[in-house]
Amino acid sequence: MEKIKGKLKQPKVFNLSFVTAMSERFGYYIISFLIVLILKDIFKFSDSDSFKLCAIFIALGYLTPAIGGFLADKVIGIKRCLGLGLLLEMTGFILLALPSNNIFLFVIALGFIVIGAGIFKTAPTNMMGRAYEDNDPRIDSGFTLYYMGINIGSFSSSLIAGPVKDAYGWGIPFAISAAGLFFGFIWFMFFKKHGDNLESPPGMKSFHPGKWFIVVICCILGVLASAMMMLYVEIGSMCFYVLSGLIFIYLIWEIIISPKEDKKKIMVCLILIFLAVGFFSLYYQLYQSVVLFLQRNVDRTLFGIDIPTPVFLGLNGLSVIILGPILALIYNFLEKRKKDLSITTKFPLGILIITLGFLILYVGTLMDNGTGKISCLWVIAYLIVYSLGELLIGALGVAMITRIAPAKMYGIMMGAWFFIGSGLSAEFSGTVASLAKVPPELLSNLGATMNIYGKAFLDMAYIGLAFALVGFILAPWLKKRAIG
């Protein structure tokens, strides 16, 4: 591992991880912003069916990192996963850019994206985790800045997704996404040397072309399987829960066979992952129930300009860009004075903050003055609060893994974080979003839809409050076992 130099200077691999993740997320968020709108506009899905397919897409995007982490640690190495993931995602966006209203081609393209994202996703953070020393004070600030890079990609994509789609049609934003992935791949090829001394054992060995052939065939099978899960969401849900159970059983087995100190660390990670399920089931509402609320019941005019819905979603990324460096400075300031909050406290605090966001939306629905529409300022306030909660949990979730998880399980535990903490919650998010589904016969009645959304947002706040209370109650117990 690299020695700490200067005043909390980040390791060299940070730049490689930062830029490749930023370009990868740029593409991924374009489809995330548009998927529900595409399903409603082009494929004429109902609210409920749109939420279900979107939930499976999001869940698959977090299921596959468990496989990606395994490939990085045990099969092909970290850097090969990073490059392969970028190429697979780029293929998916090229397919989306083709002019077609064929649902099968659409889900095949989504399959390439989720498989590529999964193989890529743990690689940058895996290398970063190996670059830090135990109890390294740079960890929180490094991962917060890394997360800021992701949100630069997110905000940039929002400026493309809505306006470009409105001006040139659905295909052009995806062509631009493919170009962004290509840029990330070129950056990777130029700067991958910075990860040479941080590789897993398989990455340090040569890789025979025959093995590459097997890996590619497995990726194609994964794409087809993912597409079928999105076409037949009930089968997708069943497969998801089976795989989730298998990963959980594996982690329980690791608890049984691991040394005493490692047992405690794995248990703490699992409990924090459970709390993350509560957080992310609310977090993903931005792409499901909230996006349709924005489209239907929000006056999106600001300073006389009609703003496309995806641009509002991108304000999340902009908020993180602004708040991320501020939080990084605060973490460094508190760390130097030994007063930083533990990760086990930041978790329930993040859940409580995102809960406040849904209370803001609920109050907003009471302020429509009988018009059936509210000011977009309510949504902007929600997004700022939402982003702060995201920074406390989303940004520091991977930091938690590097700080608490046993070193031998970095990749696998990161995969479990993405799959169970983010993926399982994505599956739940479809159920939570159904609280806000609007029957087709009420779509033209803005007053009725406003009432539906108001009740749904209040129920979501209750869910968040319950998880936050559990987290605060367990925080001292978790801190003792994670940090001592």
> pLDDT of 431-470, one tens digit each?
899 999 998 888 889 999 999 999 999 999 999 999 999 9
Q: Place 422 in a pLDDT band, splitting at 50, 70 and 90.
A: confident
Residue 24 forms part of a structural domain = yes
Residue 236 forms part of a structural domain = yes
Residue 228 forms part of a structural domain = yes
* The predicted structure's pLDDT at residue 2: 46
* The predicted structure's pLDDT at residue 331: 75
284-298: average pLDDT: 92
* Among the listed residues 398, 397, 420, 413, the one whose alpha carbon sits nearest the alpha carbon of residue 258: 413
Run of H or E residues at 453: helix 446-482
| Distance between CA atoms of residues 178 and 181, nearest Å | 5
What share of the chain has pLDDT > 90, as a percent? 32
Residues 461, 465, 470: CA angle, nearest 5 degrees: 155
* The predicted structure's pLDDT at residue 187: 92
Q: Place 386 in a pLDDT band, splitting at 50, 70 and 90.
A: very high
370-380: average pLDDT: 91
Residue 52 forms part of a structural domain = yes
* The predicted structure's pLDDT at residue 139: 76
The CATH number that applies at residue 201 is 1.20.1250.20
* The predicted structure's pLDDT at residue 21: 92
For the segment 334-345, what is each residue's pLDDT rounded down to a tens digit? 877 777 777 778
For the segment 452-463, what is each residue's pLDDT rounded down to a tens digit? 999 999 999 999
Query: Is the per-residue pLDDT at 7 higher than 90?
Result: no
Beta-bridge partner residues of 302: 305
What share of the chain has pLDDT > 70, as a percent? 93
Q: Domain residues for 326? A: 13-482
* The predicted structure's pLDDT at residue 196: 65
187-200: average pLDDT: 77
Distant-in-sequence, close-in-space partners of 120: CB < 8 Å, separation ≥ 6 = 20, 24, 68, 81, 82, 84, 85, 86, 89
**Residue 310 in contact with residue 162, Cβ under 8 Å?**
yes
* The predicted structure's pLDDT at residue 297: 92
* The predicted structure's pLDDT at residue 5: 47
Model-level pTM?
0.79
Q: Place 1 in a pLDDT band, splitting at 50, 70 and 90.
A: very low
Residue 398 forms part of a structural domain = yes
* The predicted structure's pLDDT at residue 197: 73
Residue 92 forms part of a structural domain = yes
Residue 8 forms part of a structural domain = no
* The predicted structure's pLDDT at residue 460: 96
Among the residue ranges 127-141, 153-167, 289-303, the one predicted with the least confidence is 127-141
Query: Is the per-residue pLDDT at 83 higher than 60?
Result: yes
Query: Is the per-residue pLDDT at 277 higher than 70?
Result: yes
| CA dist list (Å): 471 to 380, 467, 483 | 27, 6, 16
Higher confidence at residue 324 or residue 235?
Answer: 235
The average confidence (pLDDT) of the chain is: 85
Query: Is the per-residue pLDDT at 290 higher than 90?
Result: yes
**Residue 293 in contact with residue 452, Cβ under 8 Å?**
no
| Distance between CA atoms of residues 113 and 135, nearest Å | 35
Residue 281 forms part of a structural domain = yes
Q: Place 145 in a pLDDT band, splitting at 50, 70 and 90.
A: confident
361-389: average pLDDT: 91
* The predicted structure's pLDDT at residue 129: 76
321-345: average pLDDT: 78
253-269: average pLDDT: 83
Three-state secondary-structure class, residue 484: coil
Query: Is the per-residue pLDDT at 333 higher than 90?
Result: no
78-95: average pLDDT: 93
Q: Place 117 in a pLDDT band, splitting at 50, 70 and 90.
A: very high
Domain tally, the chain: 1
* The predicted structure's pLDDT at residue 78: 84
| CA dist list (Å): 191 to 19, 126, 194, 368 | 10, 16, 6, 52
